[in-house]
Homo-oligomer: A and B are copies of this chain.
Amino acid sequence: MSKGDETRARIIEQSAPLFNKQGFAGTALSDLMEATGLQKGGIYRHFASKEELAAEAFDYAWRKAIEVRAHGVDSTPNAVDRLKRMVENFVELRTGLVPGGCPLMNAAIDSDDGNTVMRERARGALRNWQTRLAAIVKRGLKDRQIRVGIEPDQLAALVISQLEGALMMSRINQSRQPLEWAKVHLTDYLETRVRAS
Protein backbone atom coordinates (compact mmCIF):
# COMPACT_ATOMS: atom_id res chain seq x y z
CA MET A 1 0.00 0.00 0.00
CA SER A 2 1.38 3.40 -0.98
CA LYS A 3 1.41 6.23 1.53
CA GLY A 4 -1.54 7.81 -0.34
CA ASP A 5 -3.55 4.57 -0.23
CA GLU A 6 -2.83 4.24 3.48
CA THR A 7 -4.07 7.77 4.15
CA ARG A 8 -7.15 7.13 2.04
CA ALA A 9 -7.93 3.93 3.96
CA ARG A 10 -7.40 5.73 7.26
CA ILE A 11 -9.79 8.55 6.26
CA ILE A 12 -12.45 5.98 5.36
CA GLU A 13 -11.98 4.12 8.64
CA GLN A 14 -12.15 7.30 10.70
CA SER A 15 -15.14 8.75 8.85
CA ALA A 16 -17.22 5.57 8.85
CA PRO A 17 -18.49 5.92 12.46
CA LEU A 18 -19.53 9.52 11.77
CA PHE A 19 -21.53 8.73 8.65
CA ASN A 20 -23.01 5.62 10.29
CA LYS A 21 -24.12 7.57 13.37
CA GLN A 22 -25.02 10.97 11.93
CA GLY A 23 -26.03 10.17 8.37
CA PHE A 24 -24.81 11.84 5.20
CA ALA A 25 -26.43 15.24 5.71
CA GLY A 26 -25.63 15.24 9.44
CA THR A 27 -21.90 14.74 8.90
CA ALA A 28 -20.24 18.12 8.39
CA LEU A 29 -16.84 18.69 6.83
CA SER A 30 -15.72 20.04 10.21
CA ASP A 31 -16.63 16.67 11.81
CA LEU A 32 -14.60 14.84 9.18
CA MET A 33 -11.66 17.21 9.71
CA GLU A 34 -11.78 16.67 13.46
CA ALA A 35 -12.01 12.87 13.19
CA THR A 36 -9.16 12.60 10.70
CA GLY A 37 -6.98 15.46 11.93
CA LEU A 38 -6.74 16.66 8.32
CA GLN A 39 -7.63 19.91 6.59
CA LYS A 40 -10.27 20.07 3.86
CA GLY A 41 -7.61 19.82 1.15
CA GLY A 42 -6.02 16.83 2.87
CA ILE A 43 -9.34 14.96 2.75
CA TYR A 44 -10.43 15.97 -0.74
CA ARG A 45 -7.04 15.12 -2.24
CA HIS A 46 -8.22 11.50 -1.82
CA PHE A 47 -11.93 11.76 -2.66
CA ALA A 48 -13.73 13.57 -5.48
CA SER A 49 -16.64 14.53 -3.22
CA LYS A 50 -18.34 13.98 0.13
CA GLU A 51 -20.59 11.49 -1.69
CA GLU A 52 -17.58 9.41 -2.71
CA LEU A 53 -16.21 9.39 0.83
CA ALA A 54 -19.63 8.53 2.28
CA ALA A 55 -20.05 5.67 -0.19
CA GLU A 56 -16.61 4.26 0.66
CA ALA A 57 -17.33 4.68 4.37
CA PHE A 58 -20.60 2.79 3.92
CA ASP A 59 -18.85 -0.04 2.07
CA TYR A 60 -16.31 -0.26 4.88
CA ALA A 61 -19.01 -0.35 7.59
CA TRP A 62 -21.03 -2.89 5.63
CA ARG A 63 -17.98 -5.13 5.06
CA LYS A 64 -17.41 -5.12 8.83
CA ALA A 65 -21.08 -5.93 9.48
CA ILE A 66 -21.04 -8.82 7.03
CA GLU A 67 -17.80 -10.16 8.53
CA VAL A 68 -19.40 -10.18 11.98
CA ARG A 69 -22.68 -11.72 10.77
CA ALA A 70 -20.84 -14.40 8.81
CA HIS A 71 -18.52 -15.31 11.70
CA GLY A 72 -18.23 -19.09 11.96
CA VAL A 73 -20.91 -19.63 9.32
CA ASP A 74 -18.75 -21.22 6.62
CA SER A 75 -17.39 -23.81 9.03
CA THR A 76 -20.91 -24.86 10.12
CA PRO A 77 -21.82 -27.99 8.14
CA ASN A 78 -25.65 -27.88 8.09
CA ALA A 79 -27.54 -25.18 6.15
CA VAL A 80 -30.18 -24.65 8.86
CA ASP A 81 -27.44 -24.32 11.46
CA ARG A 82 -25.70 -21.81 9.21
CA LEU A 83 -28.87 -19.70 9.07
CA LYS A 84 -29.27 -19.99 12.85
CA ARG A 85 -25.68 -18.92 13.32
CA MET A 86 -26.27 -15.83 11.16
CA VAL A 87 -29.29 -14.91 13.28
CA GLU A 88 -27.31 -15.40 16.50
CA ASN A 89 -24.42 -13.34 15.20
CA PHE A 90 -26.76 -10.51 14.24
CA VAL A 91 -28.36 -10.45 17.68
CA GLU A 92 -25.35 -11.21 19.86
CA LEU A 93 -22.13 -10.00 18.29
CA ARG A 94 -21.37 -6.36 18.78
CA THR A 95 -17.56 -6.21 18.62
CA GLY A 96 -15.82 -5.46 15.35
CA LEU A 97 -18.69 -3.33 14.10
CA VAL A 98 -18.48 0.29 13.08
CA PRO A 99 -20.35 2.18 15.83
CA GLY A 100 -23.79 3.59 15.04
CA GLY A 101 -25.89 0.50 14.36
CA CYS A 102 -26.72 -1.50 11.24
CA PRO A 103 -25.28 0.35 8.21
CA LEU A 104 -28.13 -0.98 6.05
CA MET A 105 -30.81 0.56 8.26
CA ASN A 106 -28.82 3.78 8.43
CA ALA A 107 -28.40 3.94 4.66
CA ALA A 108 -32.10 3.22 4.25
CA ILE A 109 -32.78 6.19 6.49
CA ASP A 110 -30.43 8.40 4.51
CA SER A 111 -31.80 7.28 1.18
CA ASP A 112 -35.28 8.01 2.46
CA ASP A 113 -34.41 11.70 2.26
CA GLY A 114 -33.78 11.33 -1.46
CA ASN A 115 -30.01 10.75 -1.21
CA THR A 116 -29.48 8.65 -4.33
CA VAL A 117 -25.87 7.71 -3.52
CA MET A 118 -26.95 6.15 -0.23
CA ARG A 119 -30.06 4.60 -1.81
CA GLU A 120 -27.92 2.76 -4.36
CA ARG A 121 -25.57 1.66 -1.58
CA ALA A 122 -28.44 0.46 0.59
CA ARG A 123 -29.98 -1.42 -2.31
CA GLY A 124 -26.68 -3.08 -3.17
CA ALA A 125 -26.03 -4.05 0.46
CA LEU A 126 -29.51 -5.49 0.89
CA ARG A 127 -29.16 -7.48 -2.35
CA ASN A 128 -25.77 -8.71 -1.17
CA TRP A 129 -27.16 -9.91 2.16
CA GLN A 130 -30.24 -11.49 0.58
CA THR A 131 -28.05 -13.29 -1.95
CA ARG A 132 -25.81 -14.71 0.79
CA LEU A 133 -28.74 -16.05 2.79
CA ALA A 134 -30.50 -17.38 -0.31
CA ALA A 135 -27.30 -19.18 -1.36
CA ILE A 136 -27.24 -21.00 1.99
CA VAL A 137 -30.88 -22.02 1.48
CA LYS A 138 -30.24 -23.22 -2.09
CA ARG A 139 -27.30 -25.30 -0.92
CA GLY A 140 -29.43 -26.70 1.92
CA LEU A 141 -32.16 -27.69 -0.53
CA LYS A 142 -29.61 -29.45 -2.73
CA ASP A 143 -28.15 -31.26 0.29
CA ARG A 144 -31.67 -32.17 1.49
CA GLN A 145 -31.11 -30.37 4.80
CA ILE A 146 -33.91 -27.93 4.03
CA ARG A 147 -37.50 -28.89 3.39
CA VAL A 148 -38.68 -29.11 -0.22
CA GLY A 149 -40.86 -26.13 -1.12
CA ILE A 150 -38.94 -23.53 0.89
CA GLU A 151 -38.30 -20.59 -1.42
CA PRO A 152 -34.72 -19.24 -0.99
CA ASP A 153 -35.41 -15.55 -1.70
CA GLN A 154 -38.52 -15.56 0.43
CA LEU A 155 -36.83 -17.16 3.44
CA ALA A 156 -33.89 -14.76 3.10
CA ALA A 157 -36.29 -11.79 3.08
CA LEU A 158 -38.17 -13.09 6.13
CA VAL A 159 -35.02 -13.49 8.19
CA ILE A 160 -33.71 -10.05 7.22
CA SER A 161 -37.01 -8.25 7.78
CA GLN A 162 -37.54 -9.89 11.16
CA LEU A 163 -34.04 -8.94 12.31
CA GLU A 164 -34.07 -5.40 10.94
CA GLY A 165 -37.56 -4.72 12.32
CA ALA A 166 -36.52 -6.03 15.73
CA LEU A 167 -33.44 -3.84 15.59
CA MET A 168 -35.64 -0.83 14.90
CA MET A 169 -37.87 -1.69 17.86
CA SER A 170 -34.84 -2.23 20.06
CA ARG A 171 -33.54 1.19 19.12
CA ILE A 172 -36.82 2.94 19.82
CA ASN A 173 -37.34 1.13 23.13
CA GLN A 174 -33.65 1.19 24.01
CA SER A 175 -34.01 -2.45 25.01
CA ARG A 176 -32.49 -5.66 23.65
CA GLN A 177 -35.73 -7.55 24.24
CA PRO A 178 -37.18 -7.33 20.68
CA LEU A 179 -33.89 -8.65 19.26
CA GLU A 180 -33.83 -11.55 21.72
CA TRP A 181 -37.43 -12.41 20.84
CA ALA A 182 -36.62 -12.28 17.14
CA LYS A 183 -33.78 -14.76 17.72
CA VAL A 184 -36.02 -17.15 19.63
CA HIS A 185 -38.75 -16.85 17.01
CA LEU A 186 -36.49 -17.35 14.00
CA THR A 187 -34.65 -20.26 15.64
CA ASP A 188 -37.96 -21.96 16.36
CA TYR A 189 -39.19 -21.26 12.83
CA LEU A 190 -36.02 -22.63 11.25
CA GLU A 191 -36.20 -25.78 13.37
CA THR A 192 -39.89 -26.51 12.94
CA ARG A 193 -40.70 -25.26 9.44
CA VAL A 194 -37.45 -25.17 7.50
CA ARG A 195 -35.24 -28.06 8.64
CA ALA A 196 -35.86 -31.23 6.64
CA SER A 197 -37.14 -33.99 8.88
Contact = CB atoms under 8 A, between A and B. Distances in A.
A172 B22 CA distance: 19
A127 to B, nearest CB: 8
A161 B71 CA distance: 24
Given A123-B172, A171-B108, A172-B108, A181 B166 contact: no
Contacts of A189: 189
A26 to B, nearest CB: 6
A161 B157 contact: no
A160 interface: yes
Contacts of A126: 169, 172-173
B22 A113 contact: yes
Interface of A: 22-23, 25-26, 101, 104-106, 108-109, 111-113, 119, 122-123, 126, 154, 157-158, 160-169, 171-173, 177-178, 181-182, 184-185, 189, 192-193
